Amino acid sequence: MKRFAFGLLAALLATTAQAEPMATGDLGLVIERARGSVLLVDQSDRAALARIEGLGDLSHASLVYSPDERFAYVFGRDGGLTKVDIVTRQVVNRVVQAGNAIGGAISDDGKLVAVSNYEPGGVRVFDADTLEMVADIPTGGKTIGLVDAPGRRFVFTGWDNGETWIADFSGPEMELTKIKDMGENPYDALITANGRTYITGLFGEDGLTALDLWDETPEPIRVLPGYGRGQQEMPVYKMPHLEGWAHTGEEFVLPAVGHHEVLWVDAATLTETGRTKTYGQPVFAMARPDGRHVWVNFAHPLNDTIQVIDTVSKQVIHEFKPGPAVLHMEFTPRGHEIWISVRDADKVMVYDTHTFEKLREIDAESPSGIFFTARAHRTGL
């Protein structure tokens, strides 16, 4: 026994002596969709540190972070929910919770992880520690636009029935609030950083629908109804994503659907404040954290290009082609750099957001989503 204890102590000493304490505040993970792995990256060093494998089908995958920025919960297309420890750089838990998943969220207290599923349609909620299921919320259809909201709540929307549901986990029993008439075929949604406004984009009609979550009984608010009226619809080869909003002038900037433009909406009145014509069907319109610029990428076949729009003038001020299949962009938390995944170049490219100069290329296999740990502290990311 004594010998065993001594051995253990020696082993502990050896590992702690070797391993520097690991700070995770400037780390991130890049999804390698074809390989089923994530690449651990370091923002400050602009480098890849390690590859963590065995996460299943990661097409369209996304992830969220625990409040301590140590664990990532990765939501795979195949319904896999994988918990990755970025300090020890390994998969620590994995469940296959559904047949076909689309995204996830983590509660404000970091205790619950929710996954939205296409098949079987609905949301499942798991204990963040053990990945045991704590709630199953079938919706009867494909579920999109799942976000966390303050007060241990999750908000999500049905593609087929156009209903937004709020699942409140603040009490001993989950409480569900259902809001009908959000519009035809909502395809994605976002929540503002303060957790007040939830906006769904609609595929089945021109327009968006907002909810004021500060309202006791939120009612659908139509935003830009019929924004494309009189213009020819163009085919959409990839569904846009809603994420992020521009702070300058308190506006949202959102991709239009079937029209090659982004739409500007006043955050207080939810009325249109402008439009900017873009190069193609926008997929992501992401505001730099200071809100001064919005970076936009595009759907196939124009997905080799990025445009940068100034939020004061609403003009395109820069356009460039990072390479084939630009899938995602992530700003450093203070916005001085942007990381861009260029799938068919097998590279993540790092750019200076002020000079637009390319700073580094990092090898990655079919990279898609890039997620920095600072997301841990943001509502709705």
Give the interface with other proteins as residue ranges (CB under 8 A): 33-34, 57, 59-60, 77-78, 100, 102, 118-119, 142, 159, 185, 187, 203, 234-239, 260, 279-280, 300-302, 304-305, 325, 343
Pick what 375 binds: ligand HEC, other proteins, none; C-beta below 5 to 8 Å, kind-dependent.
none
Q: Which is nearer to ligand HEC, 46 or 60 (CB)?
A: 60
Task: Find out whether 35 and 61 touch, Cβ atoms under 8 Å.
Answer: no
- What mask, x for binding ligand HEC by CB under 6 A, covers residues 214 to 253? ----------------------xxxx--------------
**In this structure, what token pair is assigned to residue 215?**
């309202």
Instruction: Calculate ∠ Cα 149-375-188, nearest 5°.
Output: 55
**In this structure, what token pair is assigned to residue 118?**
């296409």
Closest distance between ligand HEC and the C-beta of residue 26, in Å? 35
> 10 Å Cβ neighbour count for 54?
13
Pick what 305 binds: other proteins, ligand HEC, none; C-beta below 5 to 8 Å, kind-dependent.
other proteins
Closest distance between ligand HEC and the C-beta of residue 60, in Å? 12
Closest distance between ligand HEC and the C-beta of residue 167, in Å? 26
Q: How far is CA 275 from CA 109, 189, 201, 265, 322, in A?
A: 37, 20, 16, 9, 25
Q: Which is nearer to other proteins, 141 or 150 (CB)?
A: 141
Q: How many residues bind ligand HEC (CB under 6 A)?
A: 4
Closest distance between ligand HEC and the C-beta of residue 138, in Å? 21
Pick what 159 binds: other proteins, ligand HEC, none; C-beta below 5 to 8 Å, kind-dependent.
other proteins
The length of the chain in residues reads 381
Closest distance between other proteins and the C-beta of residue 259, in Å? 10
Q: Which is nearer to other proteins, 78 or 290 (CB)?
A: 78
CA dist 259 and 227 (Å) reads 9
Select the residue whose beta carbon is closest to ligand HEC and give its number: 237
Please report the beta strands in 180-237, taking only residues with DSSP state E, as ranges in sequence order.
186-191, 197-202, 208-212, 221-223
Task: Find out whether 188 and 196 touch, Cβ atoms under 8 Å.
Answer: no
Closest distance between other proteins and the C-beta of residue 230, in Å? 15
Q: Which is nearer to ligand HEC, 326 or 376 (CB)?
A: 326
Pick what 379 binds: other proteins, ligand HEC, none; C-beta below 5 to 8 Å, kind-dependent.
none
Q: Which is nearer to ligand HEC, 237 or 279 (CB)?
A: 237
Q: Which is nearer to other proteins, 25 or 301 (CB)?
A: 301
Closest distance between other proteins and the C-beta of residue 238, in Å? 5
Closest distance between ligand HEC and the C-beta of residue 329, in Å? 20
Q: Which is nearer to ligand HEC, 107 or 116 (CB)?
A: 116
Q: CB neighbours of 58 closer than 8 A, spacing ≥ 6?
A: 31, 32, 33, 34, 35, 36, 37, 38, 74, 76, 77, 368
Q: How far is CA 5 from CA 13, 17, 19, 189, in A?
A: 12, 18, 21, 54
The single-letter code of the amino acid at 281 is Q
Handedness of CA 343, 348, 349, 350 (dihedral sign): positive
The three-class DSSP label of residue 289 is coil
Handedness of CA 239, 354, 311, 288 (dihedral sign): positive
Q: Which is nearer to ligand HEC, 278 or 332 (CB)?
A: 278
Q: Contact positions toward ligand HEC, by CB under 6 A?
A: 236-239
